[in-house]
Amino acid sequence: MPQSLDEVRYELALANRMVAHEGVLDAFGHVSMRHPGDPNRYLLSRSRSPELVEPGDILEFDLDSEPVAPPTVRLYGERVIHGEIYKARPDVTAVCHHHAAAFMPYCVSGEEVVPVYHLGAVIGAKAPFWDQRDDFGDTNLLVIEPEEGASLAKALGPHWVVVMRRHGATVAGRTLQEVVFRTIYSCRNAEYLTQAKLIGIPSPLNPREAERAAEYNLAAGPVSRAWEYWSMRLAKAGGTPPRATKSTRSGARSGARSAAARSKSPRAAKKTAKKGRR
């Protein structure tokens, strides 16, 4: 992998901002990436709205979702979503967890999200539905404990999108660009499916169509064309992430420290860090 870790952190910050800017993420949700040099680690921001993530916010975690360096900042409560999927799926290199408006009617009604157009084929043949109650009964609807993450990863199985009851969805990809592409176009697909249900009876792509269209659209050409487009839109809105400054270049830890310095609740962050999970 020729990219420096600094470059990777920049790309991941960009991905978080891009997906947020396209309306899929808001104050919540996150995009992560497997560590390019160590498959037993992954990269994820400290707890912060995705449209604000900077390269210096990106920290390293092991696959149990424990931070590699002692954190001095607040961490996302739901990072086990990422860790458990990387553990269960060696072919997955990037993960996005979101609560997009497009998916919510499906999370809330239990109706199935099926691919209905060529770009929606990136969902794959099936998007399984995860009902947390099957394993855990009544919960706070979040995915905080490792076993909750593992249950979700199991529900995802060999697929690429899992719909989470009354919560949102989680999307996996073989590359960072792919997970961004799949996240955004699966939302578009869900929107069109909803609209089509209002005026007629949509039927899903058949398996052969779904497979062929996914293969075409997930090639480097379409995926990088879309990446350029979303980058441009983000840039026009003044949302491009800053390049890491010298002081944050020496690694995740110093980046985290400088982030902590900016944080308004260092006490809360410390308490969190001690608890090891929040």
The owner of tokens 């609740």 is 265
CB closer to its own copies out of 27 and 261 = 27
Contact 222, 216 (CB under 8 A): yes
Separation CA 271–CA 278 (nearest Å): 9
Contact 74, 55 (CB under 8 A): no
Nearer residue to its own copies within complex by CB, 63 or 122: 122
- Whether 78 is catalytic is yes
- 67 - beta bridge partners? 61
Establish how many alpha carbons lie within 13 A of residue 157's alpha carbon, considering only the half-sphere containing its beta carbon. Answer: 10
Task: Give whichever of 41 and 146 is closer to its own copies, judged by the CB atom.
Answer: 146
- Nearer CB in complex with its own copies: 49/254: 49
Question: Tokens for 252?
Answer: 């995740």
User: What is the smallest separation between the CB atom of 31 and its own copies, expressed in angstroms?
Assistant: 15
Location of structure tokens 């993450």? 149
The DSSP bridge partners found for residue 32 are 95
Which among 11, 22, 78, 148 is annotated as catalytic?
A: 78
Residue 20, Cβ density class (10 Å: 0-12 exposed, 13-18 middle, ≥19 buried): buried
Strand ranges, E, within 71-131:
94-98, 129-130
Query: Least distance to its own copies from the beta carbon of 11, Å?
Result: 13
Q: Are 100 and 194 in contact (CB under 8 A)?
A: no
233/251 with CB nearer its own copies: 233
For the annotated catalytic residues, the residue numbers are: 78
